[in-house]
Amino acid sequence: MTTSIAPSAAPHRGRWWEDATPSASREWAPSPAGPTDDPGTPPPLLGTGRLRQTLRFAHDQGGLLFEGARRHGDIFGVTTMLEKRPLAITAHPDHVKSLFTAGPALAPSTAGQSMLRPIVGDSVLTVTGEPHRRKRKLLMPPFHGKAIARYREQIQEATDREIGSWRAGSRIRLADAAQKVTLDVIMSGVFGIDYSSGEAEQLLRTRLRQLLGLSVSPLARVSEALSMRRSEPVGVQKWGLAHLDRAVMAVIAERRAAHVPGERHDILSLLLDTRDDEGEPLSDGELRNELLTLVLAGHETTANSIGWAFERLVRAPGPYGRLREAARGEDDEDYVEATIHESMRVRPVIPMLGRRVKADWRFGDAVVPAGTRVLIGVLSLHHRDDLYADPFTFDPDRFVGVKPGSSTWIPFGGGDRRCLGATLAMEEMRILTAEIARRTDLKAVSQAAERPVHRNVTMIPGRGGAVEITSVRP
Ligand code: HEM
């Protein structure tokens, strides 16, 4: 077994998020990976209890990933109630690269089985193969670098509005505050809705906020669990979605009626102009699925990344001081960017990614059979001490002038499924991080690190990135 490549810095205690054990960096040893005809042995299994391991997926993904890496190295198996066959979990960059570059025929994404499926139906996030390729091509243009420049002003305005409402001495949850900004940005980018928009559009904004508020209630968590592995929602989720759908459909109908090709630049307007290979426009249902996907995938992830960034910063006086200095000086870009890269390394909002291998697959010394669901441990990969010295230390300097690697820094995933909104998300995080650092001084509400909490596929700060505002400038 290639156990020598295990992240030796992985903490032995369960509370990995409080760990700061220094460890010497080591050489990174390659590990062969990809389709194979060789018979091989399956990866070693972590524990035996199906129920226990399934519960850890819901509550303690970090604990599971670090324990597996510490005990078995680069690749291990887990039996769960999610699948009959054990899942394989890897955190080696060569294994990751083999999965990202294999393409949809050999290693399709498993996002279609995610909890988002009953909500968004068939969309770019949930379908695979040729339908995915077509949808992705349709949606690419508004997310390209050049198109993102158009959003810059909206992000800046929404950020100014939000920070303008902060008062010295008060306590806020930064993830919630950032969510107001990211929701405004996505609503104007996707639907072209802003504060001056009409009635149907304001109703849609209200309904979305209501559904999002609802989605964190205990009742919603239950119906979320009930909807898992179904393609239709049930319970409170179904009820909330029916309300939201009426509002989405009203906006789509209004836009179709008033549509002048080329007049507006929001994504809904662009999609109204699109034709498929047979020259047919997208149906209302198809439009609804894509738009809802963008809204749901596009704002909480970014907002929680901001929450995590400042959760780390207010507990790291050196980097926080440097960031404020950089943001208040002339030349802030490098350090702001490095801070974002580092916070997404130590606290990736999506801690695991799923692929299903369609051929027998080698991972180092182990081979898994065709059909196995393979999870990439983003969080454990990001904490390998052969990739990052002192991996549990928050140190943005490691990214100053360094471009993160495509199979060693993967908070946005990779290959043909890499996050479609990554450029937009980075722009939002740059502006929010720089403005918060420039205009405010914050301190931790408590010195204890925030515990990671799992919601849907995301890992979010347990207290929402709680801070006290000690000063705020205009
Ligand atoms: C910090 C913020 C964000 C993070 C950490 C994030 C992360 C991710 C990850 C890990 C994936 C799956 C990649 C894979 O399986 O390889 C993904 C997919 C996706 N994301 Fe994001 N995302 C963020 C923001 C956004 C934004 C702002 C949007 C859109 C407005 C967006 C839209 C999407 C879509 C549509 C997909 C599916 C892509 C596909 O399957 O082809 N995301 N994202």
* Residues 353-374: tens digit of each pLDDT: 999 999 999 999 999 999 999 9
User: What's the pLDDT band for 4 if we cut at 50, 70, 90?
Assistant: very low
Which atom of ligand 1 has the smallest separation from the CA of 410?
A: 10
Sequence-ordered strand ranges (E) for 285-381: 352-356, 361-363, 366-368, 373-377
The whole-number pLDDT of residue 232 equals 62
Q: Give the pLDDT of residue 207.
A: 81
Q: Whose CA is nearest to atom 37 of ligand 1?
A: 125
**What average pLDDT does range 1-23 have in this prediction?**
61
Q: Does pLDDT of 46 surpass 60?
A: yes
Where are the strands (E) in 196-308, listed by range? none
Q: What gap in Å lies between CA 466 and CA 409, rounded to an integer?
A: 26
Query: In angstroms, what is the span from residue 17 Cα to ligand 1's centroid?
Result: 24
**Per-residue pLDDT tens for 240-295?**
788 888 888 988 898 888 888 878 878 888 888 888 778 888 899 999 999 988 98
Give me ligand 1 centre to Cα 60, in Å: 22
What does the alpha-carbon distance between residue 58 and residue 63 come to, in Å, rounded to a whole number?
A: 11
Average pLDDT over residues 6-30: 71
Distance CA 187, CA 189 (A): 6
Q: CA Rg, the chain, in Å?
A: 22
Structure tokens of 399?
């990214």
Q: How far is the CA of 242 from the centre of ligand 1 (A)?
A: 25
Contact present, 174 and 310 (Cβ < 8 Å): yes
Q: What's the pLDDT at 8? A: 47
Residue 226 clears pLDDT 70, i.e. is over it: no
Residue 233 confidence class, pLDDT cut points 50, 70, 90? low
Distance between Cα 293 and ligand 1 center (Å): 10
Q: Does the pLDDT at position 18 exceed 90?
A: no
How confident is the model over 211-222, as a mean pLDDT? Answer: 54
Of the residues 419, 424, 432, 459, which should be mutated to test ligand 1's pocket, given the most ligand atoms within 8 Å of the CB? 419
pLDDT winner (highest mean) among 126-140, 407-421, 448-462: 407-421
| Fold that domain 3-192+264-472 belongs to in CATH | Cytochrome p450 (1.10.630)
Asked which of 113-117, 127-131, 217-221, 419-423 is least confident by mean pLDDT, the reply is 217-221
Spatial CA neighbour of 166 closest among 440, 461, 361: 440
Cα–Cα distances in angstroms (integers) from residue 34 to residues 346, 348, 370, in the given order: 27, 25, 11
Q: What is the pLDDT of residue 117?
A: 82
C-alpha 298 – ligand 1 centre gap (Å): 7
Could you tell me the distance, in angstroms and rounded to a whole number, from the CA of residue 422 to the centre of ligand 1? 6
Q: Which atom of ligand 1 is nearest to the CA of 354?
A: 15
- Ligand 1 centre to CA of 169 (Å) is 35
The pLDDT of residue 223: 46
CA of 124 to the centre of ligand 1 (A): 10
Q: Which residues does ligand 1 sit against, CB inside 6 Å?
A: 109, 111, 124-125, 136, 186, 293-294, 297-298, 301-302, 305, 349-350, 353, 411-414, 417-421, 424-425
Distance CA(385)–CA(387), nearest Å, equals 5
- Best of 123, 151, 412 for a ligand 1 pocket test (most atoms within 8 Å of beta carbon): 412
Residue closest by Cα to atom 35 of ligand 1: 420
> Is this prediction's pTM over 0.85?
yes
Ligand 1 atom closest to Cα of 428? 27
Nearest CA residue ID for atom 1, ligand 1: 302
Give the number of the atom of ligand 1 that is nearest the alpha carbon of residue 415. 16
The confidence score (pLDDT) of residue 236 equals 59
Any alpha helices (H) in 102-151, and if so which ranges?
Answer: 117-120, 129-139, 145-149
- By percentage, how much of the chain surpasses pLDDT 90? 57
Q: Whose CA is nearest to atom 39 of ligand 1?
A: 417
Tell whether the model's pLDDT for residue 418 goes beyond 50: yes
Task: Say how many Å lie between the CA of residue 57 and the centre of ligand 1.
Answer: 20
At residue 196, the pLDDT reads 66
The overall average pLDDT reported for the chain is 88
C-alpha 13 to ligand 1 mean position (Å): 31
User: What pLDDT score does 2 carry?
Assistant: 38
